[in-house]
Structure 1
Amino acid sequence: MGTPMATRLLDAGHSLTVWNRTAARAEGLAARGAAVAATPGDAVRCADVVISMLADPAAVAAVVTSAAPQLRPGTHWIEMSTIGPDAVRDLAGLLPEGVTLLDAPVLGSVDKAAAGELGVLVGGEADGVEKVLGALGTVTRCGPLGSAAALKLVVNTALVGGVVVVAEALALADRLGVPAAMAERTLLASALGGAARRALATEAAFATALAAKDLALATATAPLPVLGAVHDRLGAYPELAARDLARAADRIRAGG
């Protein structure tokens, strides 16, 4: 997600310094004009706006802790990972005085990021960074700090649960002798159309492990037995951890 988002910012004319935990992943951005930093602190030292897009709460906390001493008063830190509201509020305590934190997780995968068509959910005070966020997609202000992270967790858990339900429904269709094309077409036209489109996607890149991570965050917050079962189902496919969620749906559909 970070690479197409950074590309959008470069194309919009922003001066950009990037850092990636896997250095080779920043090479393409360097070729497009981005400066590449050796450490998180080097990346933020001269920044007015900092964007973080990482896998989980632990990774975000580690990067913020490393970079915080180099932040200047007046800087905006925009946290765009899916980490839940509690983790966002914890981050606020890691930042020095005078630095503004926003939570701004996104709706959409790499295709939407590349096209600048993400849904950007924003919690906190976004005045002054609208142009940066607007380069990435459509901005929806959700309320105070943590509100966007909360809404993103709600959306992701519903989506992941729906994808698994659709996959099981298609497995049922196969057992009942319903032609696959007919079952897919009918589900796509039904109230589950969005989940069906995602279950049948071929170009998205939402790793199964990240989907399971989001479910773990949700089930740690509230008693959600159905989503707990979905989490366990995804955990049964460790070999698909880095593959898109739709590939796990394929396995479920095939009865694996």
Structure 2
Amino acid sequence: MEKKIAFLGLGSMGAPMAARLLAAGYPLTVWNRTAARAEQLAAAGATVAATPAEAVREADVVITMLADPAAVREVVGAFAPALQPGVTLIEASSIGPQGVAEVAAMLPEGVALVDSPVMGSVDRAASGELVLLVGGDSSAVQDVLAVLGTATHCGATGTGSALKVVLIGAVIAGVAVVGEAMALADSFGLPEELVTRAMAQGPLAGVAGRAFARGAYFPVRLAAKDVALATAAADLPLARVVHGRLTAFPEAADEDLGQLVKHLRAGRS
């Protein structure tokens, strides 16, 4: 592979995505705020950079997969001066269209920006089955995106991030609905197995599947961040209620979103 890739952000999603690119044969340089997270990739042949600027210095393609808009602004601000004309930045974090616009304003002339947030959890990241919501001209990086999953081309830069906020907001709200439905079933004394089987056979099947998924990991704190992006963009009363439920259980902040069902059934707030 001729393209040199820099991957910044080796969290629960970034690490398996970077591993796929390395396994596909791309020369890969990685950076993460907590350097220990890079050790496994280093053992597999990746170069570990000490700073964001060092990571991108010789890259043809830069990928960021970070927690929130503030983290993206900080890291992009640190490496933007080191970017060379002709580089493509793939911004895969969930930061909304406003966040993407802020990133675009930080980039030097001649650097292309593609926003490509993803749908799918760590299991799909590891298997290359993510759904990539792509905004902007991705023709120069189609091969890179194909290693990570299937691209849905949304339009101009920022539209991928806009669609991500729409879709993930619906999924998160759906999981909260499933949690309250299970609490209601408990109040009726219905067997859990009966209720979950009936959900799997009806129109709630998809969201119920996510609510009860194993092998998935999307922290509740990041779900709350994504819902906050939605409520900042439009008047969404139901989303505000969902955000309140996501933040009502501080002990669940680092648990998978599906664990919200457990807390809602327990009735703690």
**Aligned equivalent of 2:154:** 142
CA distance in 2 between partners of 1:48 and 1:202 (Å):
36
CA distance in 2 between partners of 1:244 and 1:147 (Å):
27
Alpha-carbon displacement from aligned partner over 1:21-65 (angstroms, at most 9, x marks no partner): 111111111011000000000000000000000000000011100
Q: SS of 1:135's equivalent?
A: helix
CA distance in 1 between partners of 2:250 and 2:45 (Å):
37
Structure 2 counterpart of 1:160, one-letter code: I
Q: Note if 1:249 corresponds to 2:261.
A: yes
Q: Note if 1:130 corresponds to 2:142.
A: yes
Structure 1 unmatched runs, 5+: none
Structure 1 counterpart of 2:43, one-letter code: A
CA distance in 1 between partners of 2:223 and 2:105 (Å):
27
Structure 1 counterpart of 2:185, one-letter code: A
**Aligned equivalent of 1:56:** 68
Q: SS of 2:216's equivalent?
A: coil
Q: TM-score, normalised by structure 1?
A: 0.99
* 1:1-256 matched pairs, under 5 angstroms: 1-256=13-268
CA distance in 2 between partners of 1:95 and 1:71 (Å):
8
CA distance in 2 between partners of 1:217 and 1:128 (Å):
29
CA distance in 1 between partners of 2:152 and 2:207 (Å):
22
Structure 2 counterpart of 1:87, one-letter code: G
Q: CA deviation at 1:249?
A: 1.7
Q: CA deviation at 1:254?
A: 2.5
Asked whether the 8 Å contact 2:182–2:261 carries over to 1, the reply is no
- Structure 1 range deviating more: 194-203 or 81-90: 194-203
Structure 2 unmatched runs, 5+: 1-12
Q: SS of 1:93's equivalent?
A: helix
Structure 2 counterpart of 1:118, one-letter code: L
CA distance in 2 between partners of 1:240 and 1:166 (Å):
17
Q: CA deviation at 1:6?
A: 0.5
CA distance in 2 between partners of 1:240 and 1:255 (Å):
14
CA distance in 2 between partners of 1:249 and 1:98 (Å):
47
CA distance in 2 between partners of 1:180 and 1:156 (Å):
26
- Structure 1 range deviating more: 25-34 or 197-206: 197-206
CA distance in 2 between partners of 1:240 and 1:176 (Å):
26
Alpha-carbon displacement from aligned partner over 1:148-181 (angstroms, at most 9, x marks no partner): 0000000000000000000100110010121110
CA distance in 2 between partners of 1:43 and 1:189 (Å):
48
Q: TM-score, normalised by structure 2?
A: 0.94
C-alpha RMSD over aligned residues: 0.7
Structure 2 counterpart of 1:177, one-letter code: G
Alpha-carbon displacement from aligned partner over 1:232-254 (angstroms, at most 9, x marks no partner): 01111111111111112211122
Structure 1 counterpart of 2:26, one-letter code: H
Q: CA deviation at 1:136?
A: 0.3
Q: CA deviation at 1:202?
A: 2.4
> What is the number of equivalent residue pairs in this alignment?
256
Alpha-carbon displacement from aligned partner over 1:62-104 (angstroms, at most 9, x marks no partner): 1100001110000000000000001101110100000000100
CA distance in 1 between partners of 2:254 and 2:123 (Å):
17
What percent of counterpart residues are identical? 57
